[in-house]
Structure 1
Amino acid sequence: MSHPENQYLSLLGRVLAKGDERMDRTGVGTKSLFGELLRFDLSGGQVPILTTKRVYWKTAVKEMLWFLSGGTNIQALLRDNVRIWSDWPLARYRHETGSTISQEEFEARIVADDDFARAWGELGPVYGKQWRRWVDASGKEHDQIATLVETLKTNPSSRRMLFHAWNVGELDQMALPPCHMVYQFHVNSRNELNCLIFQRSCDLFLGAAFNFTGGAALVHMLARQAGLTPGELVWVGGDVHVYLNHQDQVCEQMAREPRPLPTMRLLRTPTSIDDYRIEDFEVSGYSPHPPIQGDVAV
C-alpha cells in the first residue's frame, strides 16, 4: 500500500509541473492548481504529520487550541511560544507607524505590554471569533463548536454537523480572510468520526502541514468529547499553490522518502472541548527528515 504522504508529494509535483503561474496579492507569485482532494485514515491512531520535513506539531496543535478558545489576539499565542501569526500585525504596525522594528522586538512588546497588544496584536474577527462567537443580523451570538459537540452527542446521523468562518460581513475587518473555512463532520456505523476540511486557498509548502496536523488533533478532541473514535480526515483544496520562492525547497522535500507516520493519543478526557491543553497530546514514533525553511508571503 502506498504511503499516505505520497499523495501530498504527488500534489506538489503536479503543481510544479502543471500549475498555472500567476501573480497573487502578495506580489511573490505562485504556481497554482484548482480543486484537489487528499484522504488520511486516522482510525489506527496514525496522524498525517508530514515526515519528509520536520513539522513542529505542538505549534500546530497550540494554534488549533487557540482557535477553539475564540482568541483573536497574537499575545496569547506568543506567550505560548507560537509565532506563526506575527507577520500580519507586524506588517500593519510597520506600515501605519513607519517603524523599522524587528519581529523579535515587536513580539516582545506584544508579550510584555497589554495596551500595546490590544492596539497592535489584534487580528480582527478571524477563526476563533467566527467559530465561537458568530454574530447574526439580530445581534445574537452563535457558538458553532458547542452546537457541533452537542449534535455529535445527540444526533450523530445529522448532515448538518459543520462550522465555518467565511462571515461575509466581517471579512474586511480580518487580517487574513479564513483559508480553511469549512469543517464538516460525519459519523459512520462504526462510531468513527470523519471530518472534511474545505480550504479555499492553501500554501502547500508552509501551510498544508499545519492544516493536516491541526485537523487531525481536532478530530481526536471532538471524538473523545462525543464518545467516538477517529475515522478519516478528508482535505479538499480550492486554489492550491506553491509560491515561486519555495520551488527549490519543494524539490528538496519531494526527493525525500516518507517515513512511518506517527500516532497521536489523548492522555485525558476533559469535561469540555474548552479544557484541552497541549500537555494532553502524546505523539509517538515521529522521526522526520530535517526541517526545510521558507519565507511566509504576507
Structure 2
Amino acid sequence: MSNAPHRNNDSSRHPEWQYLDLMRQIWEQGDERVDRTGIGTRSVFGAQLRFDLADGQMPLLTTKRVFWKTATREFLWFLTGNTNIRELCAQGVQIWTDWPLDKYRKASGEAITREAFSARIVADAAFAAQWGDLGPVYGKQWVNWPVYEPAGEGLFRQRPAGVNQVADLVESLRNTPGSRRHIVEGWNVAELDQMALPPCHKTYQFHVSGNRLNGLLYQRSCDVALGLPFNLWGGALFLRLLAQQCDLEPGELVWMGGDTHLYLNHSELVEAQLARAPEGEPRLSILRRPESIFDYRIEDFEVTGYAPQGQLSAPVAV
C-alpha cells in the first residue's frame, strides 16, 4: 500500500490529483493480468479524467518531469503522416525506436544498442527505409486514410491520396460546429496487422459549446506510468491547435481509458510518484498562428510555470 501525501477532496484541489488517484486505484485494487508483453499488469477498465484548458492550462504532470517538447515533436510528426522513425531520431526523439530496433535485432542477430541503431537510422537513408518504418500507424491514418475504387471486375485499387481526417475536421469545426461527427479515428481494422503497434489513443472527438472547443480522447489501452502523461499532453495540444485554427476558446479535455494499466515492473516509479504532491500551474502559450494546422513548428510553443519534481523512469514494454 502507498503512503500518499494528504490532499483535499474539494473541487479546488490540483487537477493532477486525478492522475495520482487513478494510479493509486490501479496499483492497489487493479486486476492482475497476463499481458501481450509477458511482463504482467494491474488493470482497471473504463477510467475517466477531465481537465480544464482555459487560460493556457495544460495537463502537464508536476510529480515527475514530462518532456513536453518530445511529446510535441511526436505529435507534429503525426500530423505529417510520416511513418518512418528517421525524422524523430534526427531530433533526438526515441519514443518509437524500440519497436523497429527489436525487429532488427531478431532478424539480424546483431546486439546493437538503441543509440547505435538510432544513429544508423539517421545516417543511412537506405537502412532507415528498410528498418525504420513502423507501418501505417497514427499519422498515416489521420491524414491519409486509404480509399479504394473499382478497377475492373472484382478488382479495386488504392487512390494516390486518401482521406485527410485532420483537414476535414478543421473544416467541419469551422463550417458546421454543431455537428456530432467531429472525429479523428486511428483504428483502421484492415491495416492493424501492418502496424508496429496498433493505435492506443485511437479516437478523438470534439464538441463546440458556444465559443468553447471541448475534446474527448478514448484510449483502448493505456500505460499509465509512461504513456498517459504524453497522451494527456498530446490530446490537450491537439485541442489547443484546433481551437486556434478555428477561432475558438479551449474548453475541457475529457480522457477515457479502456484497459488502463500499470506494469508490474514499474513498482519503483509508482511508489515514488504516489509519495509526491502536485505543485505549480504549467501553462502553454502558442506564439504563432500558421496558415494551417499542419504548419506548426516546435519553436511555436512555450511553457511557463513548470517546475517539475525529479525525473522518474521505468522500462518500456515492447
Calculate the TM-score normalised by the size of structure 2. 0.92
Matches within 5 A, 1:212-223: 212-223=232-243
The secondary structure found in structure 1 opposite 2:235 is: helix
Superposed counterparts of 1:81-120, under 5 Å: 81-120=92-131
Pairing partner for 2:36 from 16, 20, 25 = 25
Task: Tell me if structure 2 keeps the 8 A contact 1:50–1:261.
Answer: no
Task: Measure, in 2, the Cα distance between the counterparts of 1:104 and 1:288.
Answer: 27
Q: Which residue of 2 aligns with 1:130?
A: 141
| Shift >4 Å, 4+ stretches | none
**Counterpart in the other structure of 2:293:** 273
Q: Report the secondary structure of 1:221's partner residue.
A: helix
Distance, in Å, in 1 between the alignment partners of 2:54 and 2:176 is 21
Q: From the CA coordinates, give the structure whose radius of gyration is larger.
A: 2
Distance, in Å, in 1 between the alignment partners of 2:108 and 2:147 is 34
Which 10-residue stretch deviates more, 133-142 or 210-219? Answer: 133-142
Query: Conserved in 2, the CA contact under 8 Å of 1:132 and 1:144?
Result: yes
- The aligned residue for residue 238 of structure 1 is 258
Structure 2 residues without counterparts, runs of 5 or longer: 1-11, 150-157
In the TM superposition, residue 45 of structure 1 has moved relative to its aligned partner by: 1.2
Other structure's SS at 1:253 match? helix
Matched positions, count:
297
Q: Which amino acid aligns with 2:189?
A: V
The alignment partner of 1:201 has SS state of strand
Question: 2:9 maps to which residue?
Answer: none
State the one-letter code of the partner of 1:242: L
Instruction: Summarize the alignment of residues 186-265 of structure 1 with structure 2, pairs less than 5 Å apart.
Output: 186-189=207-210, 191-265=211-285
Paired position in structure 2 for 1:10: 21
Identity of aligned residues (%): 57
2:171 alignment partner AA: E
Q: CA deviation at 1:276?
A: 0.1
Q: Which runs of 5+ in 1 are unaligned?
A: none
Q: Which amino acid aligns with 2:66?
A: V
Instruction: Write out aligned runs for 1:31-42 (5 A).
Output: 31-42=42-53
Alpha-carbon distance between aligned partners in 2 of 1:223 and 1:194, rounded to the nearest angstrom: 9
Q: Distance in 2 between matches of 1:136 and 1:293?
A: 41
Alpha-carbon shift at residue 44 of structure 1 (Å): 2.1
Deviations 1:160-194 (A, max 9, x none): 001111000000000000000000001111x1111
1:251-292 Cα deviation digits (max 9, x unpaired) = 110110101230001001000011000100011000110110
Q: State the AA in 1 paired with 2:187.
A: W
